[in-house]
Amino acid sequence: MSSYDIAVIPGDGVGVDVTHATRSILKTAADQFGFGLTFSEVDWGCEYYLEHGQMMPDDGLARLAQSDAIFLGAVGWPEKVSDSVSLHGLLLPIRKHFDQFVNMRPHRLLGGANGPLKKTGFDILCIRENTEGEYSGAGGRVHLGSPQEVAVETSIFTRHGVERILRFGFEQARLRSGKLASVTKSNAQKYSMVFWDEVTDELAAEYPDVTVTRYHVDAMAARMITHPESLDVIVASNLFGDILSDIGAAIQGGLGFAASANINPNRQLPSMFEPVHGSAPDIAGQGKANPIAAIWSGAMMLEHLGEKAAASAILKALDQVSSDTRHCTPDMGGNASTSELTDALISALQ
Ligand code: NAI
Ligand code: MG
């Protein structure tokens, strides 16, 4: 029997609620499909920071490295710890240290979800470069506070970085409909984005079964709203992918549905799975959090680990249960609590 060690970081606020919901769904799926899961849960996050002066212990990354995958709820408690501290002390070091260069987010409407477009026929996989590009952190400021003040922030696009994210996009397109949308702004950004287009063309020769279409990011933003059904796999740089995947989250019904995976496709280091949303301090501790985004992320984790049947069963249960308003949380227009929705999912899985 296969068995997997999962490092679990519930984090702060609703991160804790949705992580516990996800754990029980994953455990149910493991029992149903005959594989083992062990969870090593840690209490890292803002409370930990207030006590220890750091978001995770010194050997935190080394401990995570022992796991087959990492599941994270959400991190942040802006009232007590600045967001730049909480983000740079936990989430970003994990993504960087484990070279999780793919950020992948699925966007489609589940059974009961009601996106603002009320269109059901879209199924988009947004792939964002997660390590360089516009968020490389290269830059500086001089003449601070003076009228001559200058701020420079440089985008970094390396052949290594661009090629590997595009290759991942081609591979995903090959597994799905064979359609890949490559997003740039190569009309305006004539170095980095023209380079991106060139690498796309080079790789296209290796993937004759994939049809690549180039879009400019502004046109893509509009298309995701007007014709989301015309899209399948989208691949984009760090900044563009960040923005487009928020449009994706909006059209699929909001943050309660937006799942994500930070993947190291080489598999020598663990990948991390997390809902897109944050700790939602406004509803934390009230049993109102929608656990679907987290549970969907958990299903992506099982898929990554090779447990595809279990992952599909969870997705099917999500579709079914979210279609019944009795099980819907307040963000979906219902009155159910986090645990009521989770219990309904467990019954559907069994
Ligand atoms: P947020 O995502 O926590 O909340 C935005 C809005 O969406 C709130 O109205 C919230 O109630 C709602 N919402 C979020 N998740 C929900 C769920 N599962 N079910 C129902 N409603 C949900 O973003 P916000 O308020 O900007 O950030 C709060 C904290 O979370 C900050 O400290 C921020 O830095 C952190 N954060 C952490 C992330 C992470 O760990 N990956 C991602 C985004 C924010
Ligand atoms: Mg974002």
Which residue puts its alpha carbon closest to atom 43 of ligand 1?
278
Tokens representing 324? 């019944």
Based on the fold, state whether residues 151 and 212 are members of the same structural domain. Answer: yes
Distance CA 264, CA 268 (A): 8
Distance of CA 169 to the CA centre of its chain: 15
Please say whether the beta carbons of 172 and 127 come within 8 A: yes
In a domain, 109, yes or no: no
Q: What is the pLDDT of residues 164-175, one digit of tens each?
A: 999 999 999 999
Confidence of residue 101 (pLDDT cuts 50, 70, 90): very high
Residues 54, 17: one domain?
A: yes
User: Are residues 97 and 126 both part of a single domain?
Assistant: no
Is 244 inside any structural domain?
yes
- In terms of domains, do 127 and 164 share one? yes
The alpha carbon of 1 and the centre of ligand 2 are apart by a number of angstroms equal to 38
pLDDT digits (tens, 9 = 90+) for 239-283: 999 999 999 999 999 999 999 999 999 989 999 999 999 999 999
Listed residues 208, 228, 251: the one ending a domain? 251
120 and 173 inside one domain: yes
CA distances in angstroms from 293 to 70, 169, 258, 275, 314, listed in the order given = 16, 22, 5, 5, 12
- The reply to whether 64 falls in a domain is yes
Distance 221 CA to ligand 2 centre (A): 14
Is 194 among the domain residues?
yes
Task: Please tell me whether residue 74 adopts helix, strand or coil conformation.
Answer: strand
* Strand-by-strand arrangement of the 259-263 sheet: 36-41, 3-11, 69-74, 271-275, 259-263, 102-108, 123-129, 233-236, 179-184, 211-216
Q: pLDDT, tens digit, for every residue of 277-310?
A: 999 999 999 999 999 999 999 999 999 999 999 9
Inform me whether the pLDDT recorded for 27 exceeds 90.
yes
Note whether 49 and 81 are within 8 A (CB). Answer: yes
Same domain (yes/no): 227, 321: no
Last residue of a domain, one of 200, 227, 251: 251
If asked whether residues 58 and 1 sit together in one domain, one would say yes
pTM, two decimals, is: 0.95
Which of 212, 235, 251 terminates a domain? The answer is: 251
Among the bound ligands, the one closest to the CA of 105: 2
Which residue among 90, 277, 335 has the greatest number of ligand 1 atoms within 8 angstroms of its CB, and so is best to mutate? 277
What pLDDT is recorded for position 1?
A: 86
If asked whether residues 247 and 124 sit together in one domain, one would say yes
Buried b / exposed e over 67-90, threshold 16 CB at 10 Å, is bbbbbbbbbbbeeebeeeebeebb
| 111 within some domain | no
Average pLDDT over residues 184-196: 96
Which residue among 50, 84, 255, 322 is best mutated to probe the pocket of ligand 1, counting the most ligand atoms within 8 A of its Cβ? 255
pLDDT at position 119 is 77
Closest to 12 in 3D by CA, of 53, 38, 37, 42: 42
- The candidate with the shortest Cα–Cα distance to 124, out of 75, 191, 183, is 183
Neighbours of 267 (CB within 10 A): 11
Domain harbouring 281, CATH code: 3.40.718.10
Q: Which residues face 260 on adjacent strands?
A: 274
Look at residue 107 and tell me if it is in a domain: no
**Are 19 and 84 within one domain?**
yes
Query: Does 198 lie in the same domain as 138?
Result: yes
Kindly state whether residue 96 falls inside one of the protein's structural domains: yes
Range of the domain at 193: 116-251
pLDDT in tens, 110-129: 987 778 887 778 999 999 99
**Is the shortest distance between the CB of 73 and ligand 1 below 6 Å?**
no
154 CB-side CA count, 13 A: 8
Phi, psi of 102 (to 5 degrees): -110, 130
Q: How many domains does the chain have?
A: 2
Contact 269, 99 (CB under 8 A): yes
**108 in a structural domain:** no
Pairing of strands 233-236, 259-263: unpaired
Residues 10 and 93 in one domain: yes
Residue 132 shares a structural domain with residue 222 = yes
